[in-house]
Amino acid sequence: MSKPTTVVFHYPTDKTEMPEGPYAIAGVLVETNAGWRSVRPIIADDKCVQCDKCWLICPDGAIDRIEKSYTVDYDFCKGCGLCACECPTKAIRMIGEGEAE
């Protein structure tokens, strides 16, 4: 698994289920960040030159690179627009949340 996904977290229901100290398992996500967005990125594959820039610079790592094709993980994209701004071929545009592609 190359990145964590959300899980249903089991909160302690008894003192015996508490961790032995204020620690928590790394890479555990209980909620997404999708609700932060007011705009979201759409990648136009025909304009993409696979430069990797969007994948590299996303602060949230929300662009998945799978064998030179790029998809947005909309669970964790916050709609900051950096990918659209930095794409050298303008292959990414930002549209309003709720707008059809």
**Looking at the DSSP assignment, which residues form a beta bridge with residue 42?**
93
Q: Is residue 83 within a helix (H) or strand (E), and if so which, with residue range?
A: helix 82-86
Task: Please report whether residue 8 would count as binding other proteins according to CB under 8 A.
Answer: no
Task: Please report whether residue 74 would count as binding other proteins according to CB under 8 A.
Answer: no
For residue 85, what are the CA distances in angstroms to 26, 28, 79, 94, 98?
A: 32, 30, 12, 9, 21
Contacting other proteins (CB under 8 A), which of 52, 89, 90, 96? 52
Residue 46 token pair: 């025909």
Least gap, CB of 65 to other proteins (angstroms): 6
The residues binding other proteins (CB under 8 A) are 2-4, 6, 9, 11-12, 15, 18-33, 36, 52, 56-61, 64-65, 76, 78-82, 84-86, 94
